[in-house]
Amino acid sequence: MSNSGLVKSSIGRKLVMALSGLFLLVFLLQHLIINLLSVISPTSFNEVSHFMGTNGIIQFAMQPILIGGIVIHYIMGIVLTIQNKKARPIAYIVDNQKANSTWISRNMIFTGLTILAFLVVHFIDFWIPEVVTKFINQDWSGLEDGIEGFRYHHELVGKFSGTRGIVKASVYTIAFTFLGLHLAHGFASTFQSVGFRHGKYTPTLVKIGKAYSVIVPLLFALIVWFHALVSAH
Amino acid sequence: MNLTLKIWRQKDSKAKGAVETYPISDISPDSSFLEMLDVLNESLVLKGIVPVAFDHDCREGICGMCSLYINGEAHGPDRKVTTCQLHMRMFKDGDTITIEPFRSAGFPVVKDLVVDRSAFDKIQQAGGYVSVNTSGNTQDANAIPIPKRDADMAFDAATCIGCGACVATCKNGSAMLFVSAKVSQFSLLPQGKVEADRRALNMVGKMDELGFGNCTNTGACEVECPKGISLDNIARMNSDFLKASIISEEK
Ligand code: HEM
Ligand code: SF4
Ligand code: FES
């Protein structure tokens, strides 16, 4: 088999899925740290946001790579799911899957598509307005009339204020729950996919995965609720 | 025991097939599942009905021939047993038991509950062997020292009987557990390492070509495998395959 065979092989596709998933896991940590700043120190949050939003490398290299990673991950997820459905053209009449596997491991496409739906909402909420300000209005200053310092923290709090903020926080919380479920299987699964399974390290990795899938989504949710209930008042 | 059996009946590979219901009575809890089907078939013959076709051979859990998806699980509800070793005491009097053939694009139905698993033979022929000259002067295998752990793992992998329960169980119809057992059995041993790259590439290539699905690490296969073949083997094959396709020059 030649190297073009790698990409077309089932294990090659798993490698793509695993590497893009791993990349998203790392990205999530970075995203979380910046979000935490919005609670701990609005000034640092503003500074980091301005840096991330105006730095050429981040805007024109990292951001396209990130979007590419997400696109590859979900396109491959959909491709794999379609192929896997084809591998069982006739379904069982009785299929007791819960006897041998967890719900989360069987529903990665479902939890994944929920995250994708959330990403659309999240993009409309945060990303599109930024694109409009920077690329259409050509305003890269990070400033806004009537606001002292950078505008980012002020805008964030605005987005979560009032009843709409509560509704938004609830939608975000649901999405974070599905993210947690996706990662509860995905984290450890990545290592199995790339062929790393070790008697000494795998049990620890599984534990780290469980912790990651609870702590990271939980912190994301707490931050959102902090802004909806505390900052906005 | 009195039971209601719902069995998939299909005249031949082209027929559409449907579920038929057969009541059955006076089954001993100590009989095996296949013996229960024998009793059913005798009664069907007496009634002039074509008996239910199902696969079996050794009836002692070693050949891998018996199959059946029983109440939603390959080889039924018991663990680490084949259907011939499944006993009726696993069921309750009055139960309804649904019996279906293994379902996979790679395992077409031949008749009733019999499926064609020759796809596994094709995967084996693609590399599941060690090439040696049987000239009569082959080296004594015990002359090569092998770490006990490796020998044990290779032996465990070699207990795979090729029954296909892993494929039947997997929601993706993936054959990874079977193929990984066959790959590991050799790649763990010095005699098999020599051809490890080519073996991994060819066997995985054949598996993909025959229409088996992609593994998503649900782990269902390991639970339903009558021989307890471990997911360790899949990880080993993944890394063998990736090394072979990225690092080695083997095509
Ligand atoms: C922040 C977002 C996301 C993260 C961090 C993430 C992470 C992961 C990880 C780590 C895996 C395990 C990979 C493996 O088993 O090798 C995975 C698998 C999967 N993801 Fe995602 N994912 C995200 C979004 C999505 C989206 C938007 C979809 C939409 C379709 C999706 C669909 C899937 C599917 C179907 C699998 C299972 C594939 C398999 O196990 O082979 N994911 N994800
Ligand atoms: S791995 Fe287990 S379930 Fe799969 S064919 Fe071998 S013995 Fe059967
Ligand atoms: S008939 Fe041989 S394993 Fe069941």
Q: Do residue B106 and residue A83 have CB atoms under 8 angstroms apart?
A: no
Task: Please check whether residues B8 and B72 belong to one and the same domain.
Answer: yes
Q: Flag if B238 and A95 touch (Cβ within 8 Å).
A: no
Nearest CA to ligand 2 atom 8: B163
Q: Which ligand is nearest to the CA of A81?
A: 1
DSSP designation for B248: S
Whether the predicted pLDDT of B132 surpasses 90: no
> How long, in residues, is chain A?
233
Q: Look up the CATH number of the domain holding residue B9.
A: 3.10.20.30
Name the residue type at position A25.
L
pLDDT digits (tens, 9 = 90+) for B238-248: 999 999 999 98
B217 at A interface, C-beta within 8 A: yes
Distance between CA atoms of residues B211 and B120, nearest Å:
12
Domain stop point among B80, B111, B142 = B111
Query: Which of B227, B233, B236 is the pocket-test mutation for ligand 2 (most atoms within 8 Å of CB)?
Result: B227
Which of B111, B145, B175 is the last residue before a domain boundary? B111
Nearest to A94 among B98, B212, B223 (CB): B98
Q: Is the pLDDT of residue A3 over 80?
A: no
Ligand 1 and A171: CB distance under 6 A: no
Q: In the structure, what pLDDT confidence band is assigned to residue A233 with cuts at 50, 70 and 90?
A: low
CATH code for position B175? 1.10.1060.10
- Which residues of chain A does B218 touch, with a Cβ-Cβ cutoff of 8 Å? 100-102, 105-106
Instruction: Name which residue sits closest to atom 2 of ligand 2, judged by CA.
Output: B225
- Please count the structural domains in chain A: 1
- The answer, yes or no, to whether any atom of ligand 2 lies below 6 A from the CB of B182, is no
User: Which of B65, B88, B111 marks a domain boundary?
Assistant: B111
B56-68 per-position pLDDT tens digit: 999 999 999 999 9
pLDDT digits (tens, 9 = 90+) for B164-205: 999 999 999 999 999 999 999 999 999 899 999 999 999 999
B41 and B88 in a single domain? The answer is yes
In the chain, the amino acid numbered B181 is A
Distances from the Cα of A161 to the Cα of A151, A164, B56, B174, B195, angstroms: 16, 7, 68, 49, 65
Q: What are the structure tokens assigned to B180, written together?
A: 């990984």
Cα A24 to middle of ligand 1, angstroms: 9
- In this structure, what token pair is assigned to residue A191? 């290592």
B169 and A3: CB-CB below 8 Å? no
* CATH for A112: 1.20.1300
Which chain A residues have a beta carbon less than 8 Å from that of B234? 192
Interface residue B77 vs chain A (CB under 8 A): yes
pLDDT at A149: 85
Within 8 A of A86 by CB-CB distance, chain B residues are 105, 211, 213
In eight-state DSSP terms, residue B70 is E
Task: Ligand 3 pocket test: pick from B35, B37, B38, B63 the residue with the most ligand atoms within 8 Å of its Cβ.
Answer: B63
pLDDT band of residue A188 (cuts 50, 70, 90) is very high
Give the per-residue SS3 of chain A.
Answer: CCHHHHHHCHHHHHHHHHHHHHHHHHHHHHHHHHHHHHHHCHHHHHHHHHHHHHCHHHHHHHHHHHHHHHHHHHHHHHHHHHHHHHCCCCCCCCCCHHHCCCHHHHCHHHHHHHHHHHHHHHHHHHHHHHHHHHHHCCCCCCCCCCCCCCCHHHHHHHHCCHHHHHHHHHHHHHHHHHHHHHHHHHHHHHHHHCCCCCCCCHHHHHHHHHHHHHHHHHHHHHHHHHHHHHHCC
Backbone angles phi, psi at B8, to 5 degrees: -70, 120
For chain B, give the mean pLDDT. 96
Total beta-carbon pairs less than 8 A apart between chain A and chain B:
148
How many distinct structural domains can be found in chain B?
2
What percent of chain B shows pLDDT beyond 70? 100
Give residue B169's domain range: 117-250
- Chain B residues within 8 A of A110 when measuring between CB atoms: none
A81 pLDDT above the threshold of 60: yes
Tell me the CA–centroid distance for residue B65 and ligand 3, in Å: 5
Identify from A95, A190, A201, A206 which residue to disrupt to test chain B contact, counting B C-beta atoms within 10 A and taking the largest count: A95
Summarize pLDDT for A110-157 with one digit per residue, the tens: 999 999 999 999 999 999 999 899 888 888 888 888 888 899 999 999
**The pLDDT of residue A232 is above 70:** no
**In terms of pTM, does the model score above 0.80?**
yes
**Shared domain check, B227 and B174:** yes
Segment A75-102 shows an average pLDDT of 97
A19 lines ligand 1 (CB under 6 A): no
Q: Is the pLDDT of residue A183 over 70?
A: yes
Which of B212, B223, B240 is the closest to A100 by Cβ?
B223
A182 is in which domain, residue-wise?
A: 3-232
Q: Are residues B13 and B126 in the same domain?
A: no
**Which chain A residue has its CA at the smallest distance from B199's CA?**
A1
Q: What average pLDDT does the segment A60-67 reach? A: 94
Which ligand approaches the C-alpha of residue B57 most closely?
A: 3
Residue B150 has pLDDT above 80, yes or no: yes
Q: Are residues B74 and B163 in the same domain?
A: no
Residues B153 and B195 in one domain: yes
Among the bound ligands, the one closest to the CA of B128: 2
Query: Of the candidates A13, A94, A101, which has its C-beta nearest B219's C-beta?
Result: A101
Q: Is the CB of B160 under 6 A from ligand 2?
A: yes
Q: Distance from A201 to chain B by nearest Cα, in Å?
A: 13
CA of B61 to the centre of ligand 3 (A): 4
Quick one: B122 and B105 in the same domain?
no
